[in-house]
Chain A
Amino acid sequence: MSTVQEVVTEAPVIEDAIPKKAMALGPVASLVILALLIATPLFVKNFIIFQMTMWLIYAIAVLALNILTGASGQFSLGQSAFYALGAYTSAILMEHGDINYVLTLPVAGLICFIAGFLFGLPALRLSGIYLALATFALATAMPQLLKLGVFEHWTGGVQGLVVTKPDAPAILASLGLKVSQDMWLYYFTLAVSILIYIFSVNLLRSRSGRAMMAIRDNEIAASAMGVDVSLYKTLAFGVSAGITGVAGGLGAIAVQFVAPDGYTIQLAVALFLGMVVGGVGWLPGSLAGAAFIVFVPNIAESVSKGLSGAVFGVILILIIFLVPHGARQIAYGAQGLIGKLRRN
């Protein structure tokens, strides 16, 4: 029996390019990546540490979109709006409320969860490209809403708000560890990312996650099985927006600045891009997708300053043609190869 089961569990990996069963990485791969994420900042310059922090923050936001699109099958081009809401929540609480930056994140998450849930209610009537358009409208409206004179006292209007960068806790210094602000923020972001990743994997592997994926695959059948389609669709919107809000809050702290024009539709499109490049529905791909949107524009610029956009476009088209299922396809390909090598 056990041999039969082994063959069965291995089979889909080789037989079909993209089995969607695995939402997460195996324990070995997870530990290797975690070790790399922990060790790398010890050997690189502060600016690179800052870039890695942004990478993790975008990875959280891409993961949030992945839960919405990959798991529940709903499109969103409006993630930048929730990211902005989270960023402003953190910034306002820190600068006007003098609240510790750590505490602002759950508040940002909660507010965005509620906003996402509420936005999900009318969005229930829309699906596919029409939902994408509605969320697009949200993304275009957000920067202008942030500039409104009514909120100017809080948001700083067009000028935005400057956020104080947090120091590493004093206890580290008293232990004789010299941790720069950038490095501290990186490890703090890493810790938040790991928590969110674990919670997300738990969620998708649970009864709720299965309900969302069932809706993605067949709404009528899901409903016949007792799944409250409206509830889980709006919950998926809420969870996705909440996680995006935490990413936004972290982003505000890392960049030390929030301004309306930092959260345009371009950000939403970038997050969407990150999700596709990482592999829709594959959570670890968020890391790869975020790396793409943070680092590839720099690479494109180093190839040609004047034509960086064109170079970026060519790289993107190459990826779509060569690995249409993104990083997930590469990961599964590698896994299949390792399996073959072991057997020979």
Chain B
Amino acid sequence: MMQAQLAQQAPAGSAAPLLEVRDVSVVFGGIIALNGVSFDMQKGHILGLIGPNGAGKTTLFNCLSRLYQPSKGDILLEGASILKRPAHKISEIGIGRTFQNVALFPNLSVLDNVRVGTHARTNSDIISDSLKLPWVRKGEAAINKRVHEILGYLDLHDVAHTIVAGLPFGTQKRVELARALAAQPKILLLDEPAGGLNHEEVYILGDLIRRIRDDHGVTVLLVEHHMGLVMSIADHVVALNFGRKLAEGTPVQVQNDPDVIKAYLGSKDS
């Protein structure tokens, strides 16, 4: 924590964390969902956020994507607070996300879903759009180029024109990843990406997340129940319980932390 503050004073130092969560608390009515949680995310890392049900993982996640307003604390991206931004202005500064149970646009094609992903990185107005002015055509061409690159990267070309509602769950998850990547995020927030996948699919997903990090230079925040996945791909793990940070460190450190074993792994066995 001290280190993080020092690094922040030296601007753009190579060790400066990309994202800092500082003493964030969230209170719903009388219930404290998050209680003074702090941690840093280093650029290029995969950070696993774990904890039993109700630990506050999703609450924290929703603070990062600006669906919730913390009652205390701050969240800084590259040293600047994100808490004054409304939810729709979060993707333009480089925070992209996927949703726990997949939140695609079910009536749109895969292509259009991913195109919407580029919204924050593009500009237009309804008048030039209706008149299809030359620069709108140019913009569309740029969008299509980017979208096709991503579809190729995630092997989605075969279903590009299919309406997503009819696609298998695993494919929908890939479409969601593609949509998030279309916005060229610096940080990708993944909310339980392994949920609903079988053993083999989880393995493939882990590989894919690592590949995305390496190829796109994206930092990943992984909120996950699946301990195997987190422990195998995360560089750094933060464990939460009852809204507090329980432990933090490398996967091995966290896995061997007695508090974590008691709260999470232990409770699973009993």
Which A residues lie at the B interface, using CB under 8 A? 4-5, 8-9, 11-12, 15-16, 19-21, 199-200, 202-203, 206-211, 213-214, 216-218, 220-229, 235, 239, 281
Chain B: minimal CB distance from A324 (Å): 16
Inter-chain contact A16/B115, CB cutoff 8 Å: no
Contacts of A224 in B (CB 8 A): 65, 87-88, 90-91, 96-97, 99, 103
Interface code B112-135, partner A: CB below 8 Å = 1, 0 otherwise? 100111011110111001111000
Inter-chain contact A210/B88, CB cutoff 8 Å: no
B89 contacts chain A at the CB level, 8 A cutoff: yes
Task: State in angstroms the CA–CA spacing of A8 and B111 once bound together.
Answer: 12
Chain A: minimal CB distance from B61 (Å): 11
Task: State in angstroms the CA–CA spacing of A158 and B107 once bound together.
Answer: 46
Task: State in angstroms the CA–CA spacing of A29 and B75 once bound together.
Answer: 55
B interface, size bucket:
35 or more
- Taking a contact as CB atoms closer than 8 A, the residue among A9, A211, A213 that contacts B161 in the complex is A9
Contacts of B105 in A (CB 8 A): 213-214, 216-218, 221-222
Task: State in angstroms the CA–CA spacing of A239 and B127 once bound together.
Answer: 10
Inter-chain contact B103/A235, CB cutoff 8 Å: no
- Taking a contact as CB atoms closer than 8 A, the residue among A16, A199, A207, A281 that contacts B122 in the complex is A207
Other than the given A202-B132, A217-B108, A226-B90, 13 more pairs (CB < 8 A) read A8-B158, A12-B161, A21-B161, A199-B130, A207-B139, A209-B129, A210-B115, A220-B103, A223-B88, A224-B65, A224-B99, A225-B179, A239-B126
B159 contacts chain A at the CB level, 8 A cutoff: yes
| Residue contacts A-B, CB under 8 angstroms, 7 given | A8-B159, A21-B108, A202-B129, A223-B87, A224-B97, A226-B120, A227-B116
B166 contacts chain A at the CB level, 8 A cutoff: yes
Which B residues lie at the A interface, using CB under 8 A? 65, 67, 87-92, 96-97, 99, 103-109, 112, 115-117, 119-122, 124-126, 129-132, 136, 139-140, 143, 158-163, 166, 179, 183
Inter-chain contact A207/B108, CB cutoff 8 Å: no
